[in-house]
Amino acid sequence: MVVPALSRLPGRTSLMALGAAARRQLMAEWRGSALHRASLLAPRPEGLGVQPRDLRPGDVETGARLLAGAFTFAGLTLQLGPQGDPWDRPSPSRRFAEALHGFGWMGDLLTQGEAGARAGLRLTLDWGRLFGGWNSFAWGADLAERRVFNLACAARSLCAAASEAETAAIALDLARQARFLLRVSEGPFRAAERAAAAGVAGAALAGQTGGTILTAALRQLERTLPLTVEADGGHASRNPQAALELLFDLRCLDAALEDRGLAAPPAMMRAIDRLGGAIRFFTLADGGLPDFQGGEETRSVYVAAARAADDAPDAPIPAARNGYHRLDTGKLQLVVDAAPAARGPWSVNACGQPLAVEVLAGGRRLIVGCGWSPGAVAPPALRIADAASTVTIGDQPCGAPLSGFAAEALGPWLFGGCQAVTVRRQEGEEGQLLELSHDGWSPRFGLRHERRLFLDPTLGELRGEDRFVPAVGAQGREPRQSVPFMVRFHVHPDVNVSRALDRRSVLLRTHPQDAGWWLRNDAGEVELEPSVYHRQGLPRRTSQIVLRGQMRLSEGARVRWKLTQAENAAPR
């Protein structure tokens, strides 16, 4: 993968990186100072208030393992025993440590009743003794955000059998961390999520202290939600999973406000309604979400928990939201990423994979991407076009994450992606047609990628065409130069893949008893290559179908392909 060095970035971006690095250093020194730590202490909370209810479902089996002292995060396990302390030893990986310090496991542990609450109380108090004063890693904004939210939802359960001193200690830690979140100023990305977490903490704390934190958090939400949630309900990062998680947080805060006899601000209620509509759009036939722009498919039970409070679960599904298009007919369902990736600070988890597709057949995933997410055990190389079901040209990415100093200063922003995507959609009795193109390959090769997708309800098939067209006025490479191109179809790991005798057609079976689906094409070369798919952050081996060809930059090229039910058309 080719990633941009600081010297190759535009001057404005380079200056931003230098400025951000200086601000980060100053902020780190301030946050670690005794004066800053002291400023978070007062006023002390007066105890616990209402108990916010997180709608995210807890996992009983995971809770039982935690109670037994088995901490499993990011594919790694610490076996500590029932009274083990995970805080007094090194974590096996950074991702493990992030999951541990984010307290996302607390809801699973509380499925174990009183025993789980006692264990959660012990772990929370032990964390406070070691990390409650200050720790640059544990008090990172993202970890503090999730820990504050999870601790606020669990506090009353944890303190049901706690001493007065233990309850006071947990309330103080929660107030301090919530105040810290309200002071974090790291740009728009996750600003709404931080404000929501602080608001949930304010609702969970009693008296004037809780009220002051809650009021400040709601003010921040009114400023940040219009930037985060777009008019059609999509998250500004274009990550469907991010929209789902923010919806969970806001619904939790809304219920806590109701318990306190308060009304949610209008901006928050609009965001909840819009996010609910977006999740309705993104929920696919198998109950999960599409794997786009740093989001994973997400368990169907998890998505269903968010949709349980949907006021209009049967409302019509629009054709497009948040830059994505859906095509549905018969047994096939198609989702297309039909917009540029998020830019600037919103792009820290974005992927340079324009016009990527995902296909479900009979309610099962057939064609997918690699499912990269920020919490996955996966390299950043999976954020480029090779890791999605779209096209690639040569060995160049169509947008790649920053690395080195620039990434440390600004975050791993996506750099050099496509700037414009055009979309034309037609629907009728004959079927649904989607014609798309983007300019992401123009700066490097002087080519536009055009993708034409037609879903035929009569024949029950998907017909596709990918064209590489010389762009007018583009300054590409030497026109006579010949470059390779690839059209990739990453296959879900539950799908069986086999190639026909003609070595060109590929049979995909989502179930051993299904006849399957033929992917036919007119490419010069067809290969089956290894791939990987991530579910809940962990990789699974799978395959990808790669259609290969060569083209001159002055002429471009075209590849046609078709996905057809096997009983309808078997290749010879």
Q: Is the pLDDT of residue 9 over 60?
A: no
Which of 320, 394, 386 is CA-nearest to residue 353?
A: 386
pLDDT of residue 244: 98
- Which one, of 525, 546, 550, 510, lies nearest residue 387 by Cα? 546
Q: Evaluate whether residue 79 is within a structural domain.
A: yes
pLDDT reading at 3 higher than 80:
no
The Cα 16–Cα 407 span in angstroms is 11
Average pLDDT over residues 287-297: 95
Check whether 305 has a pLDDT greater than 70.
yes
- As for how many domains the chain has, the answer is 2
- CATH code: domain of residue 535: 2.70.98.70
What span, in angstroms and rounded, lies between the C-alpha atoms of 569 and 403? Answer: 47
- Whether 307 contacts 313, CB under 8 Å: yes
**pLDDT > 80? residue 473:** no
SS3 assignment, position 144:
helix
**H-type alpha helices, 411-539:** 442-445
Rounded Cα–Cα distance for residues 163 and 236 (Å): 44
Q: Cα torsion for 191, 193, 194, 196, to the nearest 10°?
A: 120
| 75 φ/ψ angles, rounded to the nearest 5 degrees | 80, 5
What are the tens digits of pLDDT across the range 512-525? 888 899 999 999 99
Show which of 159, 188, 217 is a domain's final residue.
188
d(Cα 105, Cα 117) in Å, to the nearest integer? 12
Domain that holds residue 561: 344-565
Query: Is residue 277 a contact partner of residue 306, using CB atoms and an 8 Å limit?
Result: no
Give the lowest-confidence range in 3-7, 206-210, 263-267, 353-357. 3-7
Does the residue 356 lie in any domain?
A: yes
What is the rounded average pLDDT of the residues 106-124?
Answer: 97
Question: Token pair 């759009």 is at which residue?
Answer: 281
In a domain, 306, yes or no: no
pLDDT, residue 507, reads 96
Residue 266 neighbours by CB under 8 Å, 6+ apart: none
CB proximity list for 382: less than 8 A, separation 6 or greater? 351, 370, 372, 376, 532
Q: Are 348 and 300 in contact (CB under 8 A)?
A: no
Instruction: State how far the Cα of 296 lies from the Cα of 533, in Å rounded to an integer.
Output: 10
Asked if the model's pLDDT at residue 568 lies above 70, the reply is no
Is 260 a residue whose pLDDT tops 70? yes
Tell me how far apart the alpha carbons of residues 248 and 192 are, in angstroms, rounded to a whole number.
Answer: 13
pLDDT at 479 over 70: no
Is residue 318 a part of any domain in this protein?
A: no
Q: Are 327 and 432 in contact (CB under 8 A)?
A: yes
Tens digits of residue pLDDT in 164-185:
999 999 999 999 999 999 999 8
- Tell me, yes or no, whether 337 lies in a domain: no
Longest CA pairwise span in the chain (Å): 79
Residue ending a domain, choose from 138, 166, 188:
188
Q: Is residue 240 part of a domain?
A: no
Three-state SS annotation for 293-336: CCCCCCCHHHHHHHHCCCCCCCCCCCCEECCEEEEEECCEEEEE
In the predicted structure, residue 315 carries a pLDDT above the cut 50: yes
Residues above pLDDT 90, as percent of the chain = 81
Has residue 544 been placed in a domain? yes
**Of 40-54, 272-286, 558-572, the least confident:** 558-572
Torsion sign over Cα 60, 65, 69, 74: negative
Beta pairing class for 431-438 and 421-428: antiparallel
Looking at residues 326-347, what average pLDDT do you find? 95
Which of 144, 162, 188 corresponds to the end of one domain? 188
Q: What are 90's two structure tokens?
A: 């090194």
Degrees, nearest 5: CA angle 453-454-455:
125
By the 8 A CB rule, do 451 and 465 touch?
A: yes
Whether 535 is covered by a domain: the verdict is yes
pLDDT at 481: 87
Kindly report the backbone phi and psi dihedral angles of residue 452, in degrees, each rounded to the nearest multiple of 5, phi listed first.
-120, 125
Q: Residue 173's closest CA among 143, 147, 207, 203?
A: 147
pLDDT tens profile 56-75: 999 999 999 999 999 999 99
Q: Is the peptide bond before 316 cis (omega within 30 degrees of 0)?
A: no
Q: What are phi and psi of 16, to 5 degrees?
A: -60, -40
Q: What is the mean pLDDT of residues 129-138?
A: 94
Gyration radius (Cα) of the chain, Å: 25
What are the tokens at 566? 């096997």
Note the pLDDT of residue 475. Answer: 55
Q: What is the pLDDT of residues 392-419, one digit of tens each?
A: 999 889 999 998 888 888 889 999 889 9
Measure the CA–CA gap between 377 and 539, rounded to whole angstroms: 7
